[in-house]
A and B are shown apart, each in its own frame.
Chain A
Amino acid sequence: MASREQELSALPQTSDPPRGPLSRLLAGVISPFLRGEPRGLVPEVLGRVIYPFLRGEAPKPQTPTGFYTDTTVCIGCKACEVACKQWNQLPSDGFEWTGNSYDNTTELSATTWRHVKFIEQFSLEPSTNIPSLDGASDESPLNRWLMMSDHCKHCLAAPCHQACPTGAIIQNEFENVYIQADICNGCSCCIAACPFGVITRSEMGGHSHKCTLCYDRQRDGLEPACAKACPTQSIHFGPVDELREQARKRVEQLHERGVPQAYLYGDVPSETYSEMHSFYLLVDRPSVYGLPDAPFNPWLHMMGDYVRSVAGGLAGIAVLLVVVFLLKR
């Protein structure tokens, strides 16, 4: 399994033709070395040095797509996890009995791009009431089991995208956040920047990985593997505008049916964070699901941090200059 991952990360992305005269020239230089076995040290080094500077033809923008995940109908079957692993050929993480409900996956990682969370909310006192989504009820809201299929939020202004110094993280033609594995150098800036803890660096290869929103399937007109596999239609895939409309109707429906706490998370921008192209219908506080209650884009602070940084340096230089000028005679 590990060798498969290495093999995949080593594959050059040669499907897009080089763009611009410089890229075409560079591509001509290294094209003999892109396929097949390396033919010695010099070609290998030359290929490695030139390859990242090649530019492919930019695809035409498409209708923005995303996920809407209705957690109220998730049954925790993990079909999405399995479908994701299978389609993306992600290796198994082994099996560890965590003791945390039915969650033995524990977290999103470089090899797990979908993670079904189980949140048990049961009071210690025995109760005969069973909470129901149908009709108003006065049962204890604590006697329930929340499940949520988590994944990358594909934020419109994604901190990981802003942080990436190599340009490996891009917003593709579907406005999904995508990591080009052949460009990533494992600097980990994206991991530090993501407020949702989505991205992870793989121990094998040392590059960052996360959900691609099945970019390859989308390019072929297919829906992502997880959405296709979901048996309860908890995971909806489609154009973001349509998903938002659908989700809002569902919230209204739930309100009418006695679930007033239902709301959407990430469908619209807040003062501190952009909208997400993968948003959720939740029935409890975001932190209960392991999501930040008020996500914050760290880049809102960047300009001020630079100003303070420059001011600190200039103050030091000014002091040095003043002392030198005062004492040099």
Chain B
Amino acid sequence: MPVTKVPGWHGIIAWDALLNGMATGLFLAAAVSELAAPGIFMRVAKVAYPVAFVLLIFDLGLLVLDLGDPLRFHHMLRVFKPSSPMSLGTWCLTIFSLPLTAAAALSLLAEVGWDFEWARILAVIVGLLPGFGSAAYKGVLLSTNAQPGWKDARWLGGYLTNSALVMGCGELLVLSAVMGQTQATAILRTAFIVLLVLNVIPLVLLFANLRPAHALLYTRDQQWRFGVLIAAGMLIPVGLMLLKGDLLFVLVAVIVLLAESWLIRFVYVKIPHTSPLEVRSGE
């Protein structure tokens, strides 16, 4: 019987984990693609940075709102504590927000003729490391604790960071398809399929970690139904991408992937709250 108290982390945290992955993943996918093949990806990357910026703003809003005292968010920045994943994450997000803002602003300025290409590329390069850190901390934060289920999720970080790249690649694929970037779409479509398949590995490992908790919480039927939903969320995008690479197929594939990603995060966040693991609430 667990003796821990459950923190008041509910749906907001599931959305936060999703938006965090979408924002950082989109930035990383756009940055890596653009730096590797600027001629092919520059146009779509210039749209991706502002979109990533908007997603990050929503994510930061949720992070602030989830605090017991939102007006004290900046207290996170009074110390730097690598032993605290939340501290490391907050610093990464804060630092990441600066080059991302610059990259987004300079991308938009380029559209109106004020082109500071070298500064934009510099901002993108500077944003790579904190952007990666912002994607990587979330899983560690949600697994380094004493909560039933969460404390056993050794592969949550591996899954979430990898999933961020998959989602980012999917979002970039949608943008390139919308913009009619044929070559970029073709390359990203292949990358998306490979990444989707690769993402199965940490996902399976994560579910192996969570099996004892799930066995306590759910009946065999419920576990099967959930498993089928997750599998469909993986297989449908792969199937659609193998079939065709036009805008409709891309859009549906990415929407299904995002829905599946949200479901996984939501179910995970709910584990310690779910009877019979929840003995007492920490609120």
Contacts and interface: CB of A to CB of B under 8 A. Distances in A.
Interface of A: 48-49, 52-53, 106-107, 159, 162-168, 183-189, 191-203, 205-208, 287, 290-292, 296, 298-299, 301-302, 304-306, 308-313, 315-317, 319-321, 323-325, 327-328
A306 B191 contact: no
Given A287-B1, A305-B157, A313 B79 contact: no
Interface stretch (B26-34, B95-103, B240-248): B26-34
B135 A313 contact: yes
A313 B86 contact: no
- Ordered nearest first, which 5 A-B pairs have the shortest CB separation? A186-B68, A206-B68, A309-B157, A316-B165, A185-B72
Interface of B: 1-9, 28-29, 32-33, 36-37, 40-41, 66-76, 78-79, 81, 83-87, 90, 132, 135-137, 139-141, 143-147, 150-151, 154-162, 164-166, 169, 183, 186-187, 190-191, 194-195, 198-199, 202, 279-280, 282-283
A25 to B, nearest CB: 16
A233 to B, nearest CB: 26
A328 B199 CA distance: 23
B83 to A, nearest CB: 5
B225 to A, nearest CB: 27
Contacts of B79: 165-167
A206 B67 contact: yes
Q: Which of B73, B83, B159 has the most CB of A within 10 A?
A: B83
B198 A316 contact: yes
B104 to A, nearest CB: 21
Contacts of A49: 74
6 contacts: A195-B146, A309-B139, A313-B28, A313-B162, A316-B198, A327-B186
A220 to B, nearest CB: 28
Nearest to A205: B69
A164 B144 CA distance: 12
A48 B69 CA distance: 12
Contacts of B66: 187
A165 B140 contact: no
B84 A315 contact: no
B7 A189 contact: yes
A309 B156 CA distance: 8
A305 B139 contact: yes
B4 A201 contact: no
B191 A188 contact: no
A316 B74 contact: no
Given A52-B78, A324-B187, A305 B29 contact: no
Contacts of A306: 136, 140, 157
Contacts of B86: 163, 165, 187, 189
Contact of A316 (B9, B151, B162, B190): B162
B69 A316 contact: no
Nearest to B78: A52
B283 to A, nearest CB: 6
B35 to A, nearest CB: 9
B136 A323 contact: no
B21 to A, nearest CB: 10
B283 A203 contact: yes
Q: Which of B72, B165, B191, B202 has the most CB of A within 10 A?
A: B72
A64 to B, nearest CB: 21
B1 A185 contact: no
Contacts of B67: 185-187, 206
Given A185-B67, A193-B145, A320-B33, A312 B9 contact: no
Contact of B160 (A52, A203, A298, A309): A309
Contact of B28 (A203, A208, A287, A317): A317
Q: Which of A48, A184, A328 has the most CB of B within 10 A?
A: A328
B195 A298 contact: no
B146 A325 contact: no
Nearest to A202: B68
Given A186-B72, A305-B144, A323-B194, 11 more contacts: A165-B76, A192-B146, A192-B150, A192-B282, A196-B4, A198-B5, A200-B5, A202-B68, A302-B144, A309-B158, A327-B186
A213 B115 CA distance: 61
A297 B69 CA distance: 27
Given A185-B73, A191-B7, A298 B145 contact: yes
B212 to A, nearest CB: 15
Nearest to B198: A319
B85 A302 contact: yes
B7 A188 contact: yes
A49 B74 CA distance: 7
A68 B3 CA distance: 21
A205 to B, nearest CB: 7
A328 B191 CA distance: 12
A259 B144 CA distance: 39
Contacts of B81: 162, 164-165, 167
A189 B89 CA distance: 13
A310 B136 contact: yes
A312 B157 contact: yes
